């Protein structure tokens, strides 16, 4: 998966970090079940690089709260920002991504 865009006059690519020293993706479960008052439980497992660890947390949580059956799986995956060419050093300016509305009475 790659996403490319311009920033600081350089084309950048956002890439999955597949380097050998890249951190392992981490997983966690977030309980999205509703409490009796309508609020979300929000309990979450510890982050882990292996899925069985968070599945064990889900089993413990459902044991303690048999009606909490909705979970969100959150996965944190390392990515890298890679420039097509190295940008020059200097202060980081504001990105030119805003749009100025036309002045009243003009056609622009
Ligand atoms: Zn819960």
Q: What is the 3-state secondary structure (H, E, C) of 58-91?
A: HHHHHHHCCCCCCEEEEEECCEEEEECCCCCCCC
Asked if residue 93 belongs to a domain, the reply is: no
CA of 36 to the centre of ligand 1 (A): 11
Asked if residue 15 belongs to a domain, the reply is: yes
CA of 67 to the centre of ligand 1 (A): 8
CA of 74 to the centre of ligand 1 (A): 15
Which letter, b or e, does each residue of 82-105 get, where b requires 16 or more Cβ atoms within 10 Å of its Cβ? eeeeeeeeeeeeeeeeeeeeeeee
Q: What is the pLDDT of residues 1-56, one digit of tens each?
A: 677 766 666 888 999 999 999 999 999 999 999 998 999 999 999 999 999 999 99
CA of 53 to the centre of ligand 1 (A): 17
Q: Tell me the whole-structure pTM to 2 decimals.
A: 0.63
Q: What is the pLDDT of residues 55-100, one digit of tens each?
A: 999 999 999 999 999 999 999 999 999 888 877 666 555 544 444 4
Domain containing 10 equals: 2-83
Asked if residue 99 belongs to a domain, the reply is: no
């Amino acid at each position: 998966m790659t996403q490319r865009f311009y920033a600081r006059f350089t084309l950048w690519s956002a890439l999955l970090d597949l380097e050998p020293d890249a951190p392992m993706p981490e997983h966690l479960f977030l309980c999205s079940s509703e409490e009796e008052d309508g609020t979300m439980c929000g309990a979450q497992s510890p982050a882990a690089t292996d899925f069985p660890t968070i599945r064990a947390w889900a089993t413990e949580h459902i044991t303690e709260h048999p009606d909490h059956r909705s979970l969100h799986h959150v996965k944190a995956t390392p990515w890298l920002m890679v420039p097509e060419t190295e940008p020059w050093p200097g202060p980081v300016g504001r990105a030119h991504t805003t749009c100025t509305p036309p002045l009243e009475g003009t056609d622009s």
